Each structure stands twice: as C-alpha cells, then as structure tokens.
C-alpha cells in the first residue's frame, strides 16, 4: 500500500515542529542583558578599561560552559558615563534601558551614580552594582533595594581609621580635612568614633584645594597641637601640601592617612623625610580570593593591581549568581543578592562561578566571598576589608588585615 502525503501537510508539520523546537530552546535559554556603565572618557578613563575587562572575565566563565548557556546566557554591552557630563550619561543610560538591560555594573563617579540611579535606573527597576563609587550620599538613597556596591563607603573607612588610631595609642590629635562634601562627612564620622574611644580632637579645620596659601591653616593646626595630624583628603585636594608644610616647620611627625592619601606620589615625595611614625589604611583583599583573582586576571592579560578590577569582577559575579539563584528559588533577584553574597553558605571565590551554580542547583546556599570579601549590609553596601599600613624606611608596609 502506498501512502501519499501532500506537500502542504509536510510543510505544515515542519513549521509546527520548528515552532516547538524554538519554544523549547527559548524556555531553556534565557538571555540577560547587562550594561557596563563606566566613564570610558573623562576623569577616570585610564582605569575603566581594566575594570570592564575584569567584569567581562566573570561573564566569560559562563559563556564558556555549554550546559550553563542552556539555562542563561548573558549579553554584555559597554556604555560611557563620561564621568562629568550628566546629559551624555543620561542619554547613554536611556539607550541601555531601550536595549533591554536588567542590570548595570557602574557607575564609577559619584556625581553620575546617584543622579542616574534616581532618575533612570531605579524607576525602571534596573539593578545597579557600583564597583567604585564610595561616596557617602548613596547610603541615604531611597533605592528600593536596586543599588548595591562592591566597594565600601568612605564612612566605613572612617570607622576603620578610628580603630587603628586607638590601637596606635594616640590620645590627642588635630584634623585637617578637604572641604569636599564626602571628606567633610568622613572627618565628622571619624571625630565621633574617636570620642567614643576617649580620644580628644584638638581642632578640626577644612582646607581648600583651590589655594596656594595654607599659612593660616597651618598656624591654626600648629596652635592646637596634638600627638598626630590626621589629613582627611587626597593628593589632588591639598593633602600633600599640608603634610609638606608641617614637615618643614617640624610641628607634627606623625600623620594619620585615609586611603586617598596613600599613593606612590606621597611615598616618593616624602621618602627623605621621617614618616616612620605615620600610618593609615588601604582597601584590602581576602588573601585566598585575591590570589585566585590575580591568577585569573594575569592569564587574561589584565593588570590585577589596577584600581577597582577586583570589585568589578565581584560585581559581575554577583549579578550572574543572583540570576541563576532566581531560577532555582523563584525569588526576586534583588532580594536574593544578600543570599548569594552573605553568610551562611559555601564560600565562593573567583574562578568558581560554575561550582557556585551547581551548588545553587542542588538547593544549597552559597556565600560569595569573591576577590574582596563581599558582605552586604542592609543598605547594599559592602563592609569591605582593609589593610592597616605604615611607613618604614621610605616604603609602605602592610601591618594587618582589618
């Protein structure tokens, strides 16, 4: 018996079959669009390429695993905030929204992050994880749990500096701080923390970076005196000039410095001076996590010592893991970020994204430590880790991790 099937019926069958296959594939593979929103031109343009490369390093871990791609694939695109042109940043942000992004890694510059978050990303319910914005103003932002950051706030640094000051036996000090709003807040929080430890502040006065005459400022600090001088500033805001003037008149020989003041320029400028009693802190890294990130970065041609590369990788990894966790637990991504990044759970480090996803798939909890020891508080800020440092023989020396 010969069975005849018309061409029309065959075509209909093939069309239905293709539609079925397409639907199954669509169910298996969910595409998540992520924007890397950094200042690729402007004030920080020398830093951002390495930051973006580090973030993409995490996404490559997923892209290289076929079984993971069957569940979620990530499409990553870069966008320029310019760091100082708000209108251009807004246009770039709106384009990312039109392109369908659901998460952002950025921004890096404080004046951009808050404004763009408030006006564009938060209303559109787009998750933001900044790897570099340490400004205090983000702490009071009404973000509906859409804004996180993998770099600690300046206020957190002020508390660390107060702890170090106490442990160094300082009982009375003067404070010179940059008139910049964030440094003013830093100085105020630092002063309050000192008072709780029964440490007296002899005077607290601002300095302005737009002046070449610090004579009145120096006189005020000298008259107040103290065991040490805390210079709450950075090398671009007059802090180095304050130290230089104090060394020349011989008033203070102990300087207390936040991370913004501890750069190669400071060390080189004052190498011949006696800074051996001076101390401060820098952002630190968890030993195991940082080593793993260094290995990953170097294999990909990324400089792991470039600022905020570790934080950028961690931001990307958290976005990846929160999306996979959302599939397995059917929980909103924003609520689950604390679950994947905080205790308890199996500790996860750079290069272990696939391992983390397998643990989540089995219904178990993870604790993403990453390269920087991520642990989010209720505001979406990471507590961070810090290294206490001092100066020995003209070189910066690490003392302990805090």
The model's pLDDT over 225-240, given as tens digits with 9 standing for 90+, comes to 999 999 999 877 888 8
Residues 273 and 397 in one domain: yes
Residues 63 and 135 in one domain: yes
Residues 176 and 268 in one domain: yes
pTM of the model: 0.78
Residues 267 and 359 in one domain: no
Residues 39 and 119 in one domain: yes
Contact 218, 249 (CB under 8 A): yes
Is position 376 within any domain? no
Contact 302, 54 (CB under 8 A): yes
The pLDDT score that the predictor gives to residue 272 is: 59
The helix or strand, by DSSP H or E, that contains position 129, with its residue range, turns out to be strand 127-130
The pLDDT score that the predictor gives to residue 1 is: 42
The first and second tokens of residue 104, run together, are 């952002």
The pLDDT score that the predictor gives to residue 8 is: 53
The pLDDT score that the predictor gives to residue 395 is: 72
Residues 169 and 272 in one domain: yes
- CATH number, domain of 207, equals 3.40.50.2300
The pLDDT score that the predictor gives to residue 244 is: 86
**Sheet containing 72-80: order of strands:** 72-80, 30-38, 103-106, 127-130, 147-149
Partners of 382 in the beta sheet?
376
Exposed, middle or buried by CB within 10 Å (0-12, 13-18, 19+), for 328? middle
Residues 245 and 328 in one domain: no
Angle at 389 between CA 384 and CA 395, to 5 degrees: 135
Residues 166 and 237 in one domain: yes
For residue 178, the Cα-to-chain-centroid distance in whole angstroms is 22
Range of the domain at 42: 29-154+286-368
Q: Which of 213, 220, 274, 266 minimizes the C-alpha distance to 239?
A: 266
Distances in Å between the Cα of 197 and the Cα atoms of 155, 161, 172 are 17, 12, 11
Q: How many domains does the chain have?
A: 2
Is position 15 within any domain? no
Is position 51 within any domain? yes
The pLDDT score that the predictor gives to residue 314 is: 97
Residues 142 and 193 in one domain: no
Residues 128 and 187 in one domain: no
Average pLDDT for runs of 10 along the chain of length 402: 45 43 49 97 90 97 85 96 93 97 93 93 97 87 93 90 96 95 92 96 92 89 96 87 88 90 73 77 79 95 90 97 89 80 96 97 95 92 86 74 78
The pLDDT score that the predictor gives to residue 330 is: 67
The pLDDT score that the predictor gives to residue 231 is: 96
Is position 378 within any domain? no
Is position 245 within any domain? yes
Is position 384 within any domain? no
Exposed, middle or buried by CB within 10 Å (0-12, 13-18, 19+), for 100? exposed
Residues 199 and 311 in one domain: no
Residues 267 and 397 in one domain: yes
Is position 74 within any domain? yes
Is position 14 within any domain? no
The pLDDT score that the predictor gives to residue 389 is: 86
The helix or strand, by DSSP H or E, that contains position 402, with its residue range, turns out to be none
The pLDDT score that the predictor gives to residue 334 is: 62
Distances in Å between the Cα of 387 and the Cα atoms of 12, 229, 350 are 68, 20, 20
């Amino acid at each position: 018996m010969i069975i005849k099937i018309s061409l029309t019926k065959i075509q209909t069958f093939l069309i239905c079959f293709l539609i079925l296959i397409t639907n199954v594939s669509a169910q298996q593979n969910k595409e998540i669009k992520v924007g890397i929103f950094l200042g690729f031109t402007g004030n920080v343009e020398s830093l951002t390429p390495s930051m973006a490369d580090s973030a993409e390093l995490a996404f490559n871990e997923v892209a290289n695993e076929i079984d993971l791609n069957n569940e979620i694939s990530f499409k990553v695109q870069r966008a320029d905030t310019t760091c100082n042109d708000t209108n251009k940043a807004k246009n770039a942000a709106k384009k990312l929204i039109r392109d369908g992004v659901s998460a952002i890694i950025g921004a890096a510059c404080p004046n951009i992050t808050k404004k763009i978050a408030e006006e564009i990303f938060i209303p559109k319910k787009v998750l933001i994880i900044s790897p570099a914005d340490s400004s205090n103003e983000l702490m009071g932002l009404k973000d509906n749990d859409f804004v996180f950051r993998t770099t600690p706030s300046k206020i957190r640094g002020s508390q660390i500096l107060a702890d170090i000051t106490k442990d160094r036996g300082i009982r009375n000090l003067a404070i010179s701080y940059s008139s910049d709003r964030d440094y003013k807040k830093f100085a105020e929080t630092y002063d309050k923390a000192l008072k709780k430890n029964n440490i007296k502040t002899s005077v607290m006065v601002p300095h302005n970076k737009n002046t070449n005459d610090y004579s009145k400022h120096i006189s005020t600090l000298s008259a107040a005196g103290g065991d040490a001088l805390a210079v709450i500033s950075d090398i671009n805001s007059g802090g180095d000039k304050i130290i230089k003037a104090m060394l020349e008149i011989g008033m203070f020989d102990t300087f207390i410095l936040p991370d913004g003041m501890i750069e190669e320029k400071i060390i080189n400028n004052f190498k011949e001076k006696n800074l051996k009693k001076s101390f401060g802190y820098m952002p630190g890294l968890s030993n195991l996590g940082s080593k793993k990130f260094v290995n990953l970065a170097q294999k990909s041609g990324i400089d792991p010592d470039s600022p905020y590369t570790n934080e950028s990788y961690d931001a990307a990894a958290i976005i990846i893991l929160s999306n996979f966790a959302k599939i397995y637990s059917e929980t909103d991504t924003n609520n689950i970020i604390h679950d994947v990044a905080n205790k308890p759970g199996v500790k996860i480090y750079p290069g272990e994204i696939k391992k983390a996803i397998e643990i989540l798939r089995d219904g178990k909890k993870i604790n993403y430590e990453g390269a920087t020891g991520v642990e989010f508080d209720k505001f979406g800020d990471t507590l961070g880790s810090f290294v206490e440092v001092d100066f020995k023989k003209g070189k910066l020396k690490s003392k302990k991790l805090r």
